[in-house]
Structure 1
Amino acid sequence: MPLVGGNQGYYVAESEGEIAQAIDSLEGRIMNMTERKMALRRAANEVDYVDEDDDYDVL
């Protein structure tokens, strides 16, 4: 009984299509957040808030 989330909250998925949509949505959100995270790190490096020798895990 897969539980998925959407704009209206959480619900039990009733089909493989609903699960696939939820996965696609999560993957898109992950990519957007990763891009914003990398942009923030670049900006921080420009003003020297972040030590450039740190080893960042960027997915």
Structure 2
Amino acid sequence: MKINMSECGVCEICIESCPLGLIKKKGFKMIIQEGCKNCGECQEVCPMGCIIEDEEDID
């Protein structure tokens, strides 16, 4: 998964939704750390719709 920061409101809802705890806030950016399993939990709860699947991470 990846976050389109130009659309992100940095609301932090995705942080709470990640079952692996891999989403972190760094300054005014949200970072999805290595190890993401592309479960889509963050994508479902994002009110801005700015989290998308990263084709490079799909197995």
Same fold (TM over 0.5): no
Point out the structure with the larger helix share: 1
Pairwise TM-score range, normalised by the shorter structure: under 0.3
Q: In terms of Rg, which structure is larger?
A: 1
Larger RCO (alpha carbons 8 Å, 6+ apart):
2
Q: TM-score, normalised by structure 2?
A: 0.22
Point out the structure with the larger strand share: 2
